[in-house]
Structure formats: structure tokens, C-alpha cells
Amino acid sequence: MESKDQIIERLKVAGYITVHEYDDAAGEYFADHTHPGEEHLIVIRGSLEVNMDGKHYVCNTGDELNFPQMMVHDARIGQEGCFYIVGEKEPV
């Protein structure tokens, strides 16, 4: 797996202007919401589950998930917590 710095650089080269790191506690829940621009998430450690566009995604260490701009989704952090990186693009 790429290092954290390599992932951040890859996101920036791909046009993600802002990159954030999150370390969320086990079981944390984020109710339905949207983001103004496209986002790309990469799980560094742990897991999370996302419901988006009628589909259920389970993301584990090393998995990546793309969120189209303004796409309604929710998320629940797995039982071991989750450390992940998110790149954000400007809204189009």
C-alpha cells in the first residue's frame, strides 16, 4: 500500500485541491448528506460502510470510493474505527 504522503500527492496530481485526514471512532454515524464538489476517499486503516445511489459499499483498508458532487450518502464507521484520507475537488 502507498504511504500516506504518496496518497496525498496522488490526489493532488489528480486535481483534488483540498486533502483531509480523518480518524473516526468506532460506530460513528454520518446521516444523509452531500458535498459540493467531487470527493475521493481512501481507507488507510479500519473500515466504513456507505449507502449511496441505492448501493451499499463496505470499504476496508486499502479500498477507495468516489463520491460524485452533490450525491446524497450516509456513512457508518466500522467496529475498529477508521483512519482515511479524502480529496475534494472544486464544485463544477
Q: Is the backbone of residue 26 left (phi > 0), alpha (psi -120 to 50) or beta?
A: beta
Q: Which three cell numbers stand for residue 42?
A: 481512501
d(CA 13, CA 24): 26
Domains detected in the chain: 4-88 (2.60.120.10)
pTM, two decimal places: 0.95
Mean pLDDT confidence for 64-74: 98
Give the pLDDT band (50/70/90) at residue 66.
very high
Give the model confidence (pLDDT) of 5-53 as tens digits. Answer: 999 999 999 999 999 999 999 999 999 999 999 999 999 999 999 999 9
Write down the pLDDT at residue 57.
Answer: 98
Write down the pLDDT at residue 1.
Answer: 83
